[in-house]
Amino acid sequence: MSFAKDLKEELAEKLSGARHCRVAELAGMMVYGGSVVTEEDGSRLLVFSTEKEIIAKKCFTFLKKSFNMRIGAGETTVESRRGKTYTVSVSGDSDVRRCTEEMGFVWPEGRDLQATEALSDWTLTMPEETCCARSFTRGLFLMRGTMNDPEKSYHFEVAVPSETVGRWLAGFLQQFDCEPRMRERRGSIVVYLKDAEQIADALTVMDAVGARLRFEEVRVVRNKRGEVQRMVNCEISNLAKTTQAAGRQIEAIELIERVAGLHTLPDELRKMAKLRLENPEYSLQELGDCSTPPVGRSCVNHRLQKLCEIAEGLRLKEGG
C-alpha cells in the first residue's frame, strides 16, 4: 500500500467533533466532488461523487451529523479501469441551498442554474478560524491531494480550483512555517511543498499524526543513510587522492633510482624513498608512523615533495 493511500485512509477515518469543523471539511471535499443538479421537474439535488468508498462514507456521516436531514447514497459502476463511483446526495431546494451556503459557497443569484453545475465553479468564502481551516485543508487533500513515497522523494501537493483558493491555502500553511509554492499544471493550480520539515508540518496541520510518525521514521533512516554515503564518498575520494599522489611519488623515486641512485640522497630522504616504495598504499600519517624515529604528517609530506623536486630536476637535465 502506498504512503499516499495510507495517509488518505487516516484522514478519511478522522471525524471532527465540532459541527463547524465538519462543515468546513465538507466544503473542502465538495470543492471538487460536489455539484448542484437541476432535475426535469426543476427541483435541485446536491450531489457528491468520489471513486473512494471511504471518502463517500465520511461525506455521508458529516452531512447527516451536521444538517440532520435526509441523505441519499448510492454507487454506480463505471465502464473504466477505475471501477465504481460512489455518490451522496441531498434533495429539496431549501436543503440544498442551506447546505451549500453554510459550507461557504455563494449561491449564484440573478441567473438560472445549468442542468449540472460543479461547485468548483462557484465563489467560495474561505474559513477564518484555524480549526476550520485545518479541516478544510484536510477535505481538499482527501479529494485532490497527493504525496510521494518519502523513501523515494519529498513532494506534497494539493490541487485547488482557483488561484484565490491557492493563495488562501499557501497563506494558511505559511502560518505553520511552511513556504509552499504555487504553479499551474495541465490547466490546474497546485500548491506544493518539497522540504521534508515543511511536509511534516503540513501533515500535522491536517492532524495526520500516524502519517507524520511514519514520515519521520523514513526521514531518520534516509538522513542516516545519506550521512553514511557521504562518509563513504569522502573516504573513496581521499583514497583516490592518496593513490594518485603515491603514484606520482613512486614514479619520481624510481626516476631518481634509475638516473642517480638512491645512495646519492641525504639519509632522511633515502629512508623515506625506500619506505614509500615498500608501502605504496600508505597514507602520509602511516608513513610517518613507520619512520625511525616516527615523524609527523607534515614532515613526511615535505620529504616526499623534496623527492619530487629532485626528480623533476633530473627530468629537465635528461631533456636538456
Q: Is residue 66 located within the same domain as residue 7?
A: yes
**224 in a domain, yes or no?**
no
- Of all residues in the chain, the percent with pLDDT exceeding 90 is 50
Per-residue pLDDT at 76: 58
**226 in a domain, yes or no?**
no
Per-residue pLDDT at 13: 92
Question: What's 274's DSSP letter?
Answer: H
**227 in a domain, yes or no?**
no
**213 in a domain, yes or no?**
no
- What end-to-end distance do the CA atoms of the chain give, in Å? 74
Q: Is residue 68 located within the same domain as residue 175?
A: yes
Q: What is the grid cell recorded at 160?
A: 485547488
The answer on pLDDT for 70 being more than 90 is no
Q: Is residue 201 located within the same domain as residue 54?
A: yes
Distance, CA of 155 to CA of 52 (rounded, Å): 22
Q: Is residue 130 located within the same domain as residue 40?
A: yes
Q: Among 207, 226, 249, give the residue marking a domain's end.
A: 207
Q: Is residue 95 located within the same domain as residue 166?
A: yes
Q: Is residue 252 located within the same domain as residue 201?
A: no
Per-residue pLDDT at 46: 94
Residue 181 belongs to domain with CATH number: 3.10.28.10
Per-residue pLDDT at 320: 47
Distance, CA of 88 to CA of 73 (rounded, Å): 4
**212 in a domain, yes or no?**
no
Instruction: Give the residue numbers spanning the domain of 293.
Output: 239-319
More confident residue, 235 or 192: 192
**215 in a domain, yes or no?**
no
Per-residue pLDDT at 187: 80
- Of all residues in the chain, what percent are helix, strand and coil, respectively (each to 5)? 60, 15, 25
Is the pTM higher than 0.75?
no
- Of all residues in the chain, the percent with pLDDT exceeding 70 is 96
Extended strands (E) in the chain: 34-38, 44-50, 71-77, 84-91, 116-118, 145-147, 156-160, 181-185, 188-193
Distance, CA of 19 to CA of 17 (rounded, Å): 6
**95 in a domain, yes or no?**
yes
Distance, CA of 191 to CA of 195 (rounded, Å): 13
Q: Is residue 53 located within the same domain as residue 175?
A: yes
Q: Is residue 191 located within the same domain as residue 245?
A: no
**167 in a domain, yes or no?**
yes
pLDDT tens-digit map of 168-185: 999 999 999 999 999 998
Q: Among 207, 225, 250, give the residue marking a domain's end.
A: 207
Q: Is residue 161 located within the same domain as residue 272?
A: no
Q: Among 166, 184, 207, give the residue marking a domain's end.
A: 207
pLDDT tens-digit map of 120-147: 999 999 999 999 999 999 999 999 999 9
Instruction: Provide the number of structural domains found in the chain.
Output: 2
pLDDT tens-digit map of 74-128: 655 554 556 788 999 999 889 999 999 999 999 988 777 888 999 999 999 999 9
pLDDT tens-digit map of 285-318: 888 898 888 889 899 889 989 889 888 888 887 7
Q: Is residue 182 located within the same domain as residue 313?
A: no
Q: Is residue 85 located within the same domain as residue 179?
A: yes
The answer on pLDDT for 43 being more than 50 is yes
pLDDT tens-digit map of 181-207: 999 988 889 999 999 999 999 999 999
pLDDT band at 211 (very low <50, low <70, confident <90, very high): very high
